[in-house]
């Protein structure tokens, strides 16, 4: 995968698992782990940095920092939100509000878009490089048969379109780039906590398993796959 790896959202369950697994796979690389909150002292090859997702200047500075000594070989955008103490997934139109929609779009679509804006120009052009943003199966229009979760579904659909657009543009000048969305499966984390009791045990993954399987799948992708969205097992997500 190369020598210069970036994780955006490294303090979350899946972001932390990606950080640990990529560091183990690539001990000679530099793994830049970005999060909003200070992290415990990390051992090489992981280097922790603070980032403010609400401040585009902070995102731009992070991209310059990560690429200061070498072009970037991989970026994993592991940020995202489904619910908070105040925000719950909508069950009906009655539950919609502008605040909920704006907040989930800001986190699930705007932040990855700004990360793409500043990090994609820093990708390695001399060899294969990967930019992956965590999407969700809930962002598939054709597979939506039960409705609900308006803001989350719509924000992930927006993310998928942003990925497609970026892949088209970047592909014109960086033929080695692979820019994709990834559904890592349903991961045992804060995001899935309210809903995991209804899931079969074999459908709820540990963060470590999800990261390992997702990285294996990503390693198989080529520039011909750019602009698409994939499940953790390599199946293409239905649009």
How do the pLDDT tens digits run along the chain, 239 residues long? 679 999 999 999 999 999 999 999 999 999 999 999 987 777 889 999 999 999 999 999 999 999 999 999 999 999 999 888 888 999 999 999 999 999 999 999 999 999 999 999 999 999 999 999 999 888 888 888 899 999 999 999 999 999 999 999 999 999 999 999 999 988 876 555 555 555 556 667 899 999 999 999 999 999 999 999 999 999 998 88
- 69: CATH: 3.40.50.720
What is the rounded distance in angstroms from the CA atom of residue 144 to the CA atom of residue 129? Answer: 32
For residue 70, what is the DSSP state?
Answer: S
Q: Does residue 224 form part of some domain?
A: yes
- The per-residue pLDDT for 205 is 85
Q: Does residue 59 form part of some domain?
A: yes
- The per-residue pLDDT for 59 is 98
Q: Which domain holds residue 162?
A: 4-231
Q: Does residue 13 form part of some domain?
A: yes
Q: Are 184 and 218 in contact (CB under 8 A)?
A: no
- The per-residue pLDDT for 79 is 96
Q: Does residue 207 form part of some domain?
A: yes
Burial call 198-237: b when 16+ CB within 10 Å, e when fewer: eeeeeebbebbbbbbbbbebbeebebebbbbbbbbeeeeb
Q: Does residue 141 form part of some domain?
A: yes
Q: Does residue 236 form part of some domain?
A: no
190 sits in the region (left: phi over 0; alpha: psi -120 to 50; else beta) called: alpha
Q: Does residue 155 form part of some domain?
A: yes
Number of domain units in the chain: 1
Q: Are 159 and 112 in contact (CB under 8 A)?
A: yes
The CA R_g of the chain, rounded to the nearest whole Å, is: 17
Q: What is the pTM of this model?
A: 0.93
What is the rounded distance in angstroms from the CA atom of residue 68 to the CA atom of residue 91? Answer: 46
CA distances from residue 48 to 65, 68, 132, 214 in whole angstroms, order as listed: 12, 15, 19, 22
Q: Per DSSP, what are the bridge partners of residue 133?
A: 77, 181
Q: Does residue 183 form part of some domain?
A: yes
- The per-residue pLDDT for 166 is 98
Q: Which two tokens stand for residue 67?
A: 């690429």
């Amino acid at each position: 995968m190369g020598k210069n790896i970036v994780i955006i959202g490294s303090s979350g369950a899946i972001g932390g698992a990606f950080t640990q697994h990529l560091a183990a796979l690539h001990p000679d690389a530099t793994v830049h782990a970005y999060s909003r909150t200070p992290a415990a002292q990390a051992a090489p090859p992981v280097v922790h940095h603070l980032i403010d997702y609400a401040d585009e200047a902070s995102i731009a500075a992070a991209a310059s920092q990560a690429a200061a000594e070498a072009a970037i070989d991989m970026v994993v955008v592991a940020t995202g939100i489904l619910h908070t103490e105040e925000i719950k997934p909508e069950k009906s139109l009655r539950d919609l509000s502008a605040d909920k929609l704006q907040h989930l779009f800001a986190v699930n679509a705007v932040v990855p878009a700004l990360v793409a804006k500043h990090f994609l120009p820093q990708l390695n052009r001399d060899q294969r490089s990967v930019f992956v943003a965590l999407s969700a199966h809930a962002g598939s229009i054709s597979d939506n048969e039960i409705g609900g979760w308006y803001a989350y579904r719509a924000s992930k659909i927006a993310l998928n379109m942003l990925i497609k657009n970026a892949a088209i543009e970047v592909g014109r000048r960086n033929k080695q780039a692979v820019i994709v969305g990834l559904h890592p499966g349903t991961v045992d984390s804060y995001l899935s906590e309210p809903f995991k009791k209804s899931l079969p045990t074999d459908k709820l993954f540990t963060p470590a398993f999800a990261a390992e399987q997702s990285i294996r799948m990503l390693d198989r992708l080529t520039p011909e796959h750019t602009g698409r969205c994939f499940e953790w097992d390599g199946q293409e997500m239905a649009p």
